[in-house]
Amino acid sequence: MSYRSGSRYLTRELVEAIGGMIVRGDAPAGESLPIEAELSKQYDASRTVVREAIKMLTAKGLVGSRPRRGTYVEPESEWNLFDPDVLRWTLQRRFSIDLLREFLIARKAIEPVAAREAAAYQDADGIAEIARRLDGMREAATGAEDPLEADIAFHVAVLEASGNRFFRQFSFVVDTALRFSIRLTNTAKGVRAASVDDHAAIYEAIAKGDGDGAALAVEHMLDEALELLRVSQETDSGKAP
């Protein structure tokens, strides 16, 4: 594959190649990466593309650099799991119930508060968007829309409606990780799509300005998902090797 152009697209392609390699464990922590000239030759890329890709990987916590040592792979403890690319590569590498459980607990620390804030903030456009996304879930239940995309869009809309810039930034993480966790929890429940009624309860509480009700509705949904993961983990551990 050639990366000769210095365009942003080709830089992203190189980030995908090297970042995925690091997260898969093909380049262990502490290992030095080839120098810029060698990477340029290896990936048939311009030095500009290589340089920009390394900057992006450094920002993700995957690589570091020091004088006389060059560029090297950082240990997993330094990776930025809130970066959507790093989270996606991690989930692709190790589809772990433990990892999904940690993610759901992180969501539980943020999303109920975001729903409470959305109820208090009462942004008309934001609430209208939640309603629109709820309608999308209803259409998905009939097969007219993709249920996964509709579910993700609803949760992102709640974060956006909170009016909190930090919660809005978390929407990228939610989007990435939900693509893995929703399929697992829906399968465990024996359903194709998430419960429209559960999501409607969140919307109705937000629209009425009932912050406590909105937070409790989100917590109920996440607690149910955590319980499904617990049961799934126990079932897997009880299977004969």
Taking only the tens place, the pLDDT of each residue in 133-148 is 999 999 998 888 888 8
* Percent of the chain at pLDDT exceeding 90: 62
DSSP at 213: H
8-78 is classed in which CATH architecture?
Orthogonal Bundle (1.10)
Mean pLDDT value across residues 177-196: 71
Query: What are the structural domain ranges in the chain?
Result: 8-78, 95-237
For residue 191, CA distances in Å to 65, 72, 139, 174, 196 come to: 48, 45, 15, 21, 12
Q: Pick from 188, 108, 182, 171: which is nearest to 149 by CA?
A: 182
Topology (CATH) of 95-237: Four Helix Bundle (Hemerythrin (Met), subunit A) (1.20.120)
* Better-scored residue on pLDDT, 10 or 64: 64
Q: Binning pLDDT at 50, 70 and 90, where does residue 240 land?
A: very low
Q: Which amino acid is at 19?
A: G
**Residue 6 pLDDT greater than 50, yes or no:** no
Three-class secondary structure of residue 69 per DSSP? coil
Q: What pLDDT is recorded for position 233?
A: 72
- Taking phi over 0 as left and psi of -120 to 50 as alpha, with beta for the rest, 61 belongs to left
**Residue 1 pLDDT greater than 60, yes or no:** no
Three-class secondary structure of residue 45 per DSSP? strand
DSSP at 78: G
> Parallel, antiparallel, or unpaired for β 63-66 and 70-73?
antiparallel
Q: What pLDDT is recorded for position 78?
A: 96
At 36-73, the pLDDT tens digits run 999 999 988 899 999 999 999 999 999 999 988 899 99
